[in-house]
Amino acid sequence: MGVFDSGIGGLSVLKEIHQLLPHEKLIYVGDSAHAPYGDRTEKYVRDRSQAIADFLLDQGVKAIVVACNTATAEAATQLRETMDVPVIGLEPAIKPAAQLSKSGIIGVLATQRTIDSERLLGLTERYAKDKKVLAQACPGLVEQVEAYKLDHPDTQKMLNQYISPLLEQGADSLILGCTHYPFLLPAIREITGNDIQILETGRPVAEQLKRVLNQNNLEAVIQSQKKMIIKYQAEKNSEQNSSSITFYNSSSDIQYHQAMKWLWHEPINIKVLPILT
Ligand code: DGL
């Protein structure tokens, strides 16, 4: 299975996929050399997404997860037209937030490109017509995560600036509409406290992927073998657990490789992605 993001944020999705489908071989591509996608043109994001998806297909993947809200918004339709494997994209969690919210006021944190996307507009119209959806673009946050400045004072300042107005307006649910943001959860919780619902998409995407694999008869093992494999996986040590995953980053800068290792919490090898055209 291939999983990609504009950078290292998609690891928050990869983690959920690996947990739910531990027997699947995974290839992760972080495009840190070209992040953030939120500052790029639509064409640029579409072209990069296509090049990475083509690369993943060349590696023999049987499905592709676009672990990036921005790339999903810009490129998922094109990828579905050009790939002959299932393509799973991300959606900001508007639907569950609308069901959970008591105040009827929902905050969405995302990149400017996602905030401006028709996809977000469509989701809001479909699932949260009777709610107040406060969409907050968060310039700079992706860069802070890419630089592993998760609890840096500047990061805290940005988060405060983006989140406080949403809370002041009565938001009781906060959607993390960018896969980089779950890594900022402790810093976000410092601002929101524990009474606010915070929704991310990693787990629902992993579940959707599992459903799609089942529907297409693509899951790695048949049901009766699963128990044995789960037991086997549990017995493996943490280093071996990541051995079924190949990690790539488009940047050779050691900073991103180090950040990936810290975010993954296990020793991993990271390869530099070949130049894609
Ligand atoms: N992780 C990406 C997302 O979910 C970040 C986008 C960007 O690079 O701007 O949107």
Using one digit for the tens of pLDDT, what is the confidence trace for 93-121?
Answer: 999 999 999 999 999 999 998 999 999 99
Please state whether the peptide bond connecting residue 139 to the residue before it is cis, i.e. omega within 30 degrees of 0.
no
Residues 155 and 21: their CA atoms lie apart, in Å, by: 33
Ligand 1 midpoint to CA 229 (Å): 34
Q: Which residues are catalytic?
A: 68, 178
Question: Residues 210-232: pLDDT tens digits?
Answer: 999 999 988 876 544 555 655 55
Region 94-199: CATH code? 3.40.50.1860
Least confident window among 147-156, 202-211, 238-247: 238-247
pLDDT category of residue 237 using cuts at 50, 70 and 90? very low
**CATH architecture of residue range(s) 2-90+202-272:** 3-Layer(aba) Sandwich (3.40)
Question: Is 225 or 124 the better-scoring residue by pLDDT?
Answer: 124
Residue 1's nearest CA partner among 27, 20, 21, 23 is 27
Residue 240 has pLDDT above 50, yes or no: no
Of 6, 41, 109, 138, the residue with max ligand 1 atoms within 8 A of its CB, to mutate for a pocket test, comes to 6
Ligand 1 midpoint to CA 91 (Å): 12
Q: Answer whether 36's CB lies under 8 Å from 111's CB.
A: yes
Ligand 1 midpoint to CA 37 (Å): 6
Domain range annotation of the chain: 2-90+202-272, 94-199
Structure-token pair, residue 39 = 């500052």
- Looking at residue 33, its pLDDT comes to 97
Q: Which residues have CB under 6 Å of ligand 1?
A: 5-7, 9, 35-38, 68-70, 111, 114, 142, 178-180
Structure-token pair, residue 207 = 């579940």
- Looking at residue 232, its pLDDT comes to 57
Atom number of ligand 1 nearest to Cα 38 = 9
Question: Residues 165-188: pLDDT tens digits?
Answer: 999 999 999 999 999 999 999 999
Average pLDDT over residues 4-22: 97
Residue 133 has pLDDT above 50, yes or no: yes
Coil, helix or strand at residue 57? helix
Nearest Cα residue to atom 9 of ligand 1: 38
Ligand 1 midpoint to CA 62 (Å): 24
Nearest Cα residue to atom 2 of ligand 1: 68
Residues 6+ apart with CB under 8 A from 198: 173, 174, 176, 185, 188, 189, 192
What percentage of the chain carries pLDDT values higher than 90? Answer: 86
Q: Answer whether 270's CB lies under 8 Å from 247's CB.
A: yes
- Looking at residue 234, its pLDDT comes to 55
Least confident window among 2-16, 219-233, 259-273: 219-233
Ligand 1 midpoint to CA 111 (Å): 7
- Looking at residue 163, its pLDDT comes to 98
Residue 83 has pLDDT above 50, yes or no: yes
- Looking at residue 224, its pLDDT comes to 47
Phi-psi region of 86 (alpha: psi -120 to 50; beta: other; left: phi over 0): beta
- Mean pLDDT over the full length of the chain: 92
Atom number of ligand 1 nearest to Cα 35 = 8
Q: Do domains 2-90+202-272 and 94-199 have the same CATH topology?
A: yes
Question: Residues 55-79: pLDDT tens digits?
Answer: 999 999 999 999 999 999 999 999 9
